Amino acid sequence: MVFILLNCKTYDEATGTNAVSIAKACRDVSESSGLEIAVAPQFPDLFRVASAVKVPVFAQHVDGSGAGSYTGSIYVKGIKEAGAVGSLINHSEKRLTLAEIEKSLSVLQENKMRSVICTNNVATTAAAAALFPDYVAIEPPELIGSGIAVSTANPKIISDSVDAVKKINKKTVVLCGAGISKGEDLKAALELGAGGVLLASGIIKSKDPKAALEGLVSLI
Ligand code: G3P
Protein backbone atom coordinates (compact mmCIF):
# COMPACT_ATOMS: atom_id res chain seq x y z
CA MET A 1 0.00 0.00 0.00
CA VAL A 2 1.30 3.46 -0.90
CA PHE A 3 2.27 5.34 2.28
CA ILE A 4 2.25 9.13 2.51
CA LEU A 5 3.58 10.78 5.68
CA LEU A 6 2.96 14.51 6.13
CA ASN A 7 5.47 16.13 8.51
CA CYS A 8 4.08 19.21 10.27
CA LYS A 9 7.56 20.27 11.45
CA THR A 10 7.04 23.51 13.44
CA TYR A 11 5.13 25.35 10.76
CA ASP A 12 2.55 27.79 12.23
CA GLU A 13 0.10 26.43 9.65
CA ALA A 14 0.31 23.04 11.41
CA THR A 15 0.56 24.06 15.05
CA GLY A 16 -2.10 23.65 17.73
CA THR A 17 -5.63 23.55 16.32
CA ASN A 18 -4.14 23.99 12.83
CA ALA A 19 -2.60 20.53 13.25
CA VAL A 20 -6.10 19.11 13.74
CA SER A 21 -7.27 20.74 10.50
CA ILE A 22 -4.26 19.30 8.65
CA ALA A 23 -5.00 15.86 10.12
CA LYS A 24 -8.63 16.06 9.00
CA ALA A 25 -7.43 16.82 5.46
CA CYS A 26 -5.17 13.73 5.62
CA ARG A 27 -8.07 11.60 6.86
CA ASP A 28 -10.49 12.84 4.20
CA VAL A 29 -8.10 12.39 1.28
CA SER A 30 -7.01 9.00 2.60
CA GLU A 31 -10.65 7.90 2.70
CA SER A 32 -11.37 9.20 -0.80
CA SER A 33 -8.16 7.85 -2.37
CA GLY A 34 -7.73 4.58 -0.48
CA LEU A 35 -4.08 5.48 0.17
CA GLU A 36 -2.61 5.55 3.66
CA ILE A 37 -1.92 9.17 4.62
CA ALA A 38 -0.39 9.74 8.07
CA VAL A 39 0.54 12.94 9.89
CA ALA A 40 3.49 13.86 12.13
CA PRO A 41 2.48 16.77 14.39
CA GLN A 42 4.67 18.40 17.03
CA PHE A 43 4.85 16.66 20.41
CA PRO A 44 2.41 19.03 22.19
CA ASP A 45 -0.16 18.28 19.47
CA LEU A 46 0.14 14.47 19.37
CA PHE A 47 -2.71 13.78 21.80
CA ARG A 48 -4.88 16.61 20.46
CA VAL A 49 -4.62 15.24 16.91
CA ALA A 50 -4.84 11.51 17.74
CA SER A 51 -7.91 12.01 19.94
CA ALA A 52 -9.71 14.31 17.47
CA VAL A 53 -9.03 12.62 14.12
CA LYS A 54 -9.01 8.99 12.95
CA VAL A 55 -5.65 9.17 11.16
CA PRO A 56 -2.29 7.43 11.76
CA VAL A 57 -0.20 9.79 13.91
CA PHE A 58 3.60 9.69 13.99
CA ALA A 59 5.99 11.54 16.29
CA GLN A 60 8.73 13.63 14.65
CA HIS A 61 11.35 12.03 16.91
CA VAL A 62 11.68 9.61 19.84
CA ASP A 63 14.59 9.09 22.23
CA GLY A 64 15.93 5.68 23.15
CA SER A 65 16.05 6.55 26.85
CA GLY A 66 13.46 4.69 28.92
CA ALA A 67 11.65 5.69 32.08
CA GLY A 68 13.59 7.69 34.68
CA SER A 69 15.69 10.81 35.02
CA TYR A 70 15.92 11.90 31.39
CA THR A 71 14.77 15.53 31.50
CA GLY A 72 13.63 16.83 28.14
CA SER A 73 13.77 13.43 26.46
CA ILE A 74 10.88 12.04 24.39
CA TYR A 75 9.91 8.75 26.06
CA VAL A 76 8.39 6.12 23.74
CA LYS A 77 5.64 5.27 26.25
CA GLY A 78 4.64 8.93 26.32
CA ILE A 79 4.16 9.20 22.56
CA LYS A 80 2.43 5.80 22.44
CA GLU A 81 -0.08 6.76 25.11
CA ALA A 82 -0.60 10.10 23.35
CA GLY A 83 -1.81 8.08 20.37
CA ALA A 84 1.24 7.83 18.10
CA VAL A 85 1.57 4.63 16.06
CA GLY A 86 5.17 5.33 15.07
CA SER A 87 7.93 7.92 14.79
CA LEU A 88 10.47 9.50 12.50
CA ILE A 89 14.09 8.89 13.52
CA ASN A 90 17.12 10.94 12.44
CA HIS A 91 15.31 13.52 10.34
CA SER A 92 17.86 15.87 8.71
CA GLU A 93 16.59 18.57 11.06
CA LYS A 94 17.07 16.27 14.10
CA ARG A 95 20.19 14.27 13.27
CA LEU A 96 21.27 11.48 15.68
CA THR A 97 24.38 9.35 16.13
CA LEU A 98 24.28 5.76 14.86
CA ALA A 99 23.99 4.52 18.45
CA GLU A 100 21.04 6.86 19.09
CA ILE A 101 19.34 5.76 15.87
CA GLU A 102 19.65 2.11 16.88
CA LYS A 103 18.30 2.81 20.39
CA SER A 104 15.35 4.87 19.14
CA LEU A 105 14.53 2.13 16.64
CA SER A 106 14.68 -0.59 19.28
CA VAL A 107 12.29 1.18 21.66
CA LEU A 108 9.80 1.57 18.80
CA GLN A 109 10.13 -2.11 17.88
CA GLU A 110 9.79 -3.17 21.53
CA ASN A 111 6.51 -1.19 21.62
CA LYS A 112 5.32 -2.57 18.28
CA MET A 113 5.38 0.92 16.75
CA ARG A 114 6.24 1.84 13.18
CA SER A 115 9.68 3.29 12.43
CA VAL A 116 10.87 5.68 9.70
CA ILE A 117 14.64 6.25 9.64
CA CYS A 118 15.50 9.36 7.61
CA THR A 119 18.66 9.29 5.48
CA ASN A 120 20.50 11.68 3.17
CA ASN A 121 22.19 9.46 0.54
CA VAL A 122 22.39 5.89 -0.75
CA ALA A 123 25.13 4.82 1.69
CA THR A 124 23.23 5.93 4.78
CA THR A 125 20.06 4.41 3.35
CA ALA A 126 21.78 1.03 3.02
CA ALA A 127 23.18 1.36 6.54
CA ALA A 128 19.74 2.21 7.94
CA ALA A 129 18.17 -0.76 6.14
CA ALA A 130 20.57 -3.06 7.97
CA LEU A 131 18.72 -2.13 11.17
CA PHE A 132 15.41 -3.40 9.70
CA PRO A 133 13.14 -0.37 10.24
CA ASP A 134 9.71 -0.39 8.66
CA TYR A 135 10.72 2.48 6.37
CA VAL A 136 13.77 4.43 5.32
CA ALA A 137 13.08 7.91 3.96
CA ILE A 138 15.76 9.20 1.61
CA GLU A 139 15.82 13.01 1.56
CA PRO A 140 18.64 15.04 0.01
CA PRO A 141 18.84 17.92 2.52
CA GLU A 142 19.60 20.50 -0.16
CA LEU A 143 16.17 19.89 -1.74
CA ILE A 144 14.16 20.03 1.49
CA GLY A 145 11.76 22.98 1.41
CA SER A 146 12.96 23.87 -2.08
CA GLY A 147 9.80 22.96 -3.98
CA ILE A 148 12.12 21.07 -6.36
CA ALA A 149 11.02 17.44 -6.14
CA VAL A 150 13.69 14.84 -5.48
CA SER A 151 11.86 12.48 -7.87
CA THR A 152 12.62 14.81 -10.77
CA ALA A 153 15.79 16.59 -9.57
CA ASN A 154 17.61 13.43 -8.49
CA PRO A 155 15.71 10.26 -9.52
CA LYS A 156 18.85 8.11 -9.37
CA ILE A 157 19.16 8.58 -5.60
CA ILE A 158 15.72 6.98 -5.23
CA SER A 159 16.26 4.05 -7.60
CA ASP A 160 19.76 3.41 -6.21
CA SER A 161 18.35 3.53 -2.66
CA VAL A 162 15.62 1.05 -3.58
CA ASP A 163 18.20 -1.30 -5.11
CA ALA A 164 20.52 -0.94 -2.10
CA VAL A 165 17.75 -1.69 0.40
CA LYS A 166 16.49 -4.69 -1.57
CA LYS A 167 20.00 -6.23 -1.38
CA ILE A 168 19.91 -5.93 2.43
CA ASN A 169 16.36 -6.67 3.41
CA LYS A 170 13.07 -7.17 1.62
CA LYS A 171 10.99 -5.89 4.59
CA THR A 172 12.02 -2.25 4.70
CA VAL A 173 10.05 0.08 2.43
CA VAL A 174 11.82 3.05 0.83
CA LEU A 175 10.11 6.42 1.03
CA CYS A 176 11.50 9.55 -0.58
CA GLY A 177 11.12 13.17 0.37
CA ALA A 178 12.23 16.76 -0.32
CA GLY A 179 10.31 19.11 -2.55
CA ILE A 180 7.45 16.66 -3.15
CA SER A 181 4.16 18.47 -3.73
CA LYS A 182 2.41 17.46 -6.95
CA GLY A 183 0.79 14.36 -8.42
CA GLU A 184 3.64 14.01 -10.88
CA ASP A 185 6.14 13.95 -8.01
CA LEU A 186 4.40 11.07 -6.23
CA LYS A 187 3.83 9.16 -9.49
CA ALA A 188 7.52 9.49 -10.41
CA ALA A 189 8.61 8.36 -6.93
CA LEU A 190 6.47 5.22 -7.16
CA GLU A 191 7.72 4.49 -10.69
CA LEU A 192 11.27 4.67 -9.32
CA GLY A 193 10.42 1.95 -6.79
CA ALA A 194 9.61 4.01 -3.71
CA GLY A 195 6.69 2.82 -1.58
CA GLY A 196 5.56 6.34 -0.78
CA VAL A 197 6.69 9.82 0.21
CA LEU A 198 7.56 11.96 3.22
CA LEU A 199 6.64 15.61 2.68
CA ALA A 200 5.91 18.88 4.41
CA SER A 201 5.89 22.41 2.94
CA GLY A 202 4.23 21.64 -0.40
CA ILE A 203 1.09 20.69 1.52
CA ILE A 204 1.36 22.48 4.87
CA LYS A 205 2.15 25.90 3.36
CA SER A 206 -0.33 25.64 0.51
CA LYS A 207 -3.44 27.85 0.46
CA ASP A 208 -5.66 24.74 0.67
CA PRO A 209 -3.88 21.68 2.17
CA LYS A 210 -6.78 19.35 1.40
CA ALA A 211 -6.81 20.40 -2.27
CA ALA A 212 -3.01 20.06 -2.35
CA LEU A 213 -3.28 16.51 -0.97
CA GLU A 214 -5.98 15.70 -3.53
CA GLY A 215 -3.62 16.94 -6.24
CA LEU A 216 -0.78 14.83 -4.82
CA VAL A 217 -2.78 11.60 -5.11
CA SER A 218 -4.66 12.52 -8.31
CA LEU A 219 -2.44 10.43 -10.63
CA ILE A 220 -2.36 7.27 -8.53
O1 G3P B 1 10.05 15.47 6.51
C2 G3P B 1 9.85 15.81 5.16
C3 G3P B 1 10.58 17.04 4.83
O4 G3P B 1 11.90 17.02 5.26
C5 G3P B 1 10.50 17.41 3.38
O6 G3P B 1 10.31 18.77 3.35
O7 G3P B 1 9.11 20.78 2.72
O8 G3P B 1 10.59 19.61 1.06
O9 G3P B 1 8.40 18.59 1.72
P10 G3P B 1 9.56 19.47 2.13
Which pLDDT tens digit goes with each residue over 29-69? Answer: 999 999 999 999 999 999 999 999 999 999 999 999 999 99
Q: Please, are residues 58 and 6 in contact by the beta-carbon 8 Å criterion?
A: no
Number of domains in the chain: 1
Q: What is the mean pLDDT of the chain?
A: 97
The residue whose CB lies within 8 Å of the most ligand 1 atoms, and thus the one to mutate among 3, 4, 7, 143, is 7
Strand 58-59 versus strand 86-89 pairing type: parallel
Domain ranges, residue 45:
3-217
pLDDT-derived band at 7 (thresholds 50, 70, 90) equals very high
67: CA distance to ligand 1 center in Å?
31
CATH value at residue 104: 3.20.20.70
Q: Is 200 in the pocket of ligand 1 (CB under 6 A)?
A: yes
Q: Is 198 in the pocket of ligand 1 (CB under 6 A)?
A: yes
69: CA distance to ligand 1 center in Å?
33
Closest Cα to atom 2 of ligand 1: 199
User: In the Cβ-directed half-sphere of 184, how many Cα atoms lie within 13 Å?
Assistant: 7
CA distances from 213 to 22, 76, 156, 181 (A): 10, 29, 25, 8
pTM listed for this prediction = 0.98
46 exposed, middle or buried (CB, 10 Å; 0-12, 13-18, 19+)? buried
